[in-house]
């Protein structure tokens, strides 16, 4: 059952205590909706659930505006998927039993999202974590909540906890602290404070000198908290399992005086141990603003000394200092035990929370195999590195695309003439007009309305032995023949006997009298810059022999790149024979054509879309229909 809080009161006026309810806010079956996903506090809630032996997770759903799906988290050893909803209304409809709304939105949007949650019939409690929510917005939230029998905890709160049952977000800190404070099982003490940080300290204190916390609430340090110290003390007074209450107030405001009124009117019949922090403020010559927005004395009545005296006069147990608070709690609890009002609690051993793999690896407790090996790049530092060379160094040295390919493909910095050759190959092979098979496929796909990637891939898929994919084969066969000192006759006729066309030889358009300009440019560059062009010269002798057979059996661009790349690898002195064989075998050289031709295929895609070309249909006049 959820409590109904009286209308908001300030400046010491008496609240309407007749409307106070009797129920507690949370139980072992309470479930929450978590707004604005934060991994750590959600996981801590689930770990607390497991520690307490809950059967179901306390987080029913997550609300992330604009996104949907599932978020993977752990519930003990088991990995679970928690639904993610794009809107508060959808989440509430999907999880009607979730009655707590935990709001991790920023102070800019916390009020609007909290009001939206309060207006949902299924939500009974809203916890607002953000600090700095505008006071006018907070007042509207408080007024709406009280008028509709709902509870607001915060703003500027860490939340609250019912020991052994449910906790909000980061309340009580780490699992180690929760275990030390014995919050995995209920005690007999109700605790309420303005400060979340001090709540963690007090949970520890209470656990040392009593049987522990039953329920703890941090109402938040803003000037206008959604619920007050007295609201929760009056609730605690009507929860049978709570035998005594501890209150930790602070200077500033007059919230504590509503508790004073309740004590004077006899509305609280259980022991209340109270302390108001901030007695040191009198040592300062001027007014001091402490940590919270509300922790600022506005006169004598708002001083810590005046509040402590008023609480003591009303019947609360008030120690002489904060240091004496622990002793006061201990003495009060021991008296209750002597009077037989507190039954001994059976201690239980909480289950071990499985440690996350990442933290276990970091602490050296376990070792785990990796799933991927990478030797070409590293993004773990302040900037990415290509083969150990920082990105900034690449830019500062004025390196180009050829140098980046050198690092990422060959894992070393090749001489400038090598990287320049790579760049020339890319430029010369970027496109060969709209009629070749790759460009044709890309154009047809683009005109079908497909996206860039689909159009690009449709063209790339045509690359193979018959279109642009002969560079590796040309290099492989030329290298084998040259290394074995085969004459052009022996090489060509041997290939013919095997039924294999010589890769890198032959062209549909180019001939002895109409040479491929690209081949000529490549050969000219190599002869001027390469230390050796042995493989290229061998390819030229093969061309001389094949031209004696047919006028179009010229050395084509595949053959030129393939043979010259062999000269690049061998002549640079940076590769072993085994490495050169591996490069050719893996398909590095075809990769060069794929990279280059992608530029042209992308261009054809953009060209067709810019021209708004319609769906392509091949003319039937260009088809031979036959049986």
The answer to whether 583 and 475 are in contact (CB under 8 A) is no
How far is Cα 193 from Cα 188, in angstroms, rounded to an integer? 17
Are 280 and 303 contacting, i.e. CB atoms less than 8 angstroms apart?
A: no
Cα gap 399→389, rounded to integer Å: 11
Would you give the end-to-end CA distance of the chain in angstroms? Answer: 84
Contact 128, 100 (CB under 8 A): no
Q: What CA–CA distances, in Å, run from 23 to 26, 180, 234, 561?
A: 9, 28, 10, 83
Q: How far apart are CA 454 and CA 599, in angstroms?
A: 14
Separation CA 126–CA 88 (nearest Å):
13
Closest-CA residue to 191 (of 207, 205, 203, 182) = 203
HSE-up of 174 (CA within 13 Å, CB side)?
4
Which helix or strand (DSSP H or E) is residue 80 part of?
strand 78-85
Helix 255-264 vs helix 229-237: crossing angle, to nearest 10: 30
User: How far is the C-alpha of 82 from the C-alpha of 72, rounded, in Å?
Assistant: 6
Instruction: Establish how many alpha carbons lie within 13 A of residue 199's alpha carbon, considering only the half-sphere containing its beta carbon.
Output: 27
Q: Which of 95, 292, 507, 604 is labelled catalytic? A: 292
Do residues 127 and 159 lie in contact, with contact meaning Cβ atoms separated by under 8 Å? yes
Q: Which residues pair with 125 in a beta bridge?
A: 100, 151
Q: Judge contact between 164 and 186, C-beta under 8 A.
A: yes
CA distance 317 to 232: 17
> 85 an active-site residue?
no
CA distances from 78 to 46, 50, 287 (A): 11, 10, 53
Angle at 83 between CA 81 and CA 89, to 5 degrees: 170
Q: Is there a contact between 171 and 196 (Cβ–Cβ < 8 Å)? A: yes
Residues with catalytic roles: 292
């Amino acid at each position: 059952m959820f409590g109904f809080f009286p209308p908001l009161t300030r400046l010491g006026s008496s609240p309407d205590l007749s409307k106070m309810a009797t129920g507690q806010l949370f139980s072992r079956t309470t479930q929450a909706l978590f707004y604005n996903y934060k991994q750590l506090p959600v996981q801590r809630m689930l770990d607390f659930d497991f520690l307490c032996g809950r059967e179901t997770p306390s987080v029913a759903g997550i609300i992330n505006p604009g996104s949907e799906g599932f978020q993977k988290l752990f519930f003990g050893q088991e990995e679970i998927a928690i639904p993610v909803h794009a809107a508060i209304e959808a989440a509430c409809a999907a999880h009607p039993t979730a009655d707590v709304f935990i709001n991790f939105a920023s102070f800019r949007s916390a009020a609007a999202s909290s009001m939206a949650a309060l207006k949902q019939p299924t939500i009974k409690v809203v916890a607002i974590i953000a600090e700095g929510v505008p006071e006018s917005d907070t007042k509207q939230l408080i007024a709406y909540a009280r008028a509709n029998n709902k509870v607001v905890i915060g703003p500027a709160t860490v939340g609250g906890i019912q020991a052994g049952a449910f906790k909000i977000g980061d309340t009580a800190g780490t699992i180690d602290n929760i275990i030390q404070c014995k919050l995995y099982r209920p005690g007999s003490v109700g605790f309420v404070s303005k400060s979340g940080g001090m709540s963690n300290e007090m949970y520890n204190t209470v656990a040392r000198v009593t049987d522990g916390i039953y329920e703890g609430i941090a109402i938040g340090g803003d000037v206008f908290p959604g619920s007050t110290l007295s609201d929760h003390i009056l609730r605690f007074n009507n929860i049978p399992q709570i035998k005594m209450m501890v209150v930790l107030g602070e200077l500033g405001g007059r919230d504590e005086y509503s508790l004073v009124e309740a004590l004077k009117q006899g509305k609280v019949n259980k022991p209340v141990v109270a302390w108001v922090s901030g007695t040191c403020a009198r040592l300062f010559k001027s007014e001091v603003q402490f940590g919270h927005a509300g922790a600022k004395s506005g006169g004598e009545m708002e001083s810590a000394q005046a509040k402590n005296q008023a609480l003591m006069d009303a019947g609360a147990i008030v120690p002489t200092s904060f240091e004496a608070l622990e002793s006061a709690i201990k003495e009060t609890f021991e008296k209750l035990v002597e009077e037989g009002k507190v039954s001994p609690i059976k201690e239980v051993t909480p289950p071990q929370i499985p440690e996350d793999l990442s933290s276990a690896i970091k602490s050296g407790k376990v070792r785990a195999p990796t799933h991927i090996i990478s030797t070409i790049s590293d993004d773990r530092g302040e900037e990415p590195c290509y083969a150990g060379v920082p990105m900034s160094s690449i830019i500062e040295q004025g390196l180009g695309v050829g140098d980046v390919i050198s690092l990422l493909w060959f894992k070393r910095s090749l001489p400038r003439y090598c990287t320049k050759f790579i760049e020339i190959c890319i430029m010369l092979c970027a496109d060969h007009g709209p009629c070749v098979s790759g460009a044709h496929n890309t154009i047809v796909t683009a005109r079908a309305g497909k996206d860039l990637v689909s159009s690009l891939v449709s063209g790339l898929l045509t690359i193979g032995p018959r279109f642009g994919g002969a560079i590796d084969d040309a290099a492989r066969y030329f290298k084998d023949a040259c290394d074995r000192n085969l004459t052009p006759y022996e090489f060509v006729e041997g290939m013919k006997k095997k039924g294999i066309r010589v890769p890198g030889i032959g062209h549909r358009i180019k001939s002895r009298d109409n040479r491929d300009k690209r081949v000529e440019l490549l050969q000219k560059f190599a002869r001027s810059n390469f230390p050796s062009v042995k493989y290229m010269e061998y390819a030229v002798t093969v061309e001389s022999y094949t031209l004696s057979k047919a006028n179009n059996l010229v050395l084509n661009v595949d053959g030129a790149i393939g043979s010259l790349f062999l000269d690049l690898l061998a002549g640079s002195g940076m590769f072993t024979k085994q490495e050169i064989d591996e490069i050719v075998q893996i398909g590095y050289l075809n990769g060069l054509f794929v990279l280059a031709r992608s530029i042209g295929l992308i261009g054809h895609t953009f060209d067709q879309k810019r021209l708004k070309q319609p769906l392509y249909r091949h003319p039937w006049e260009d088809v031979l229909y036959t049986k």
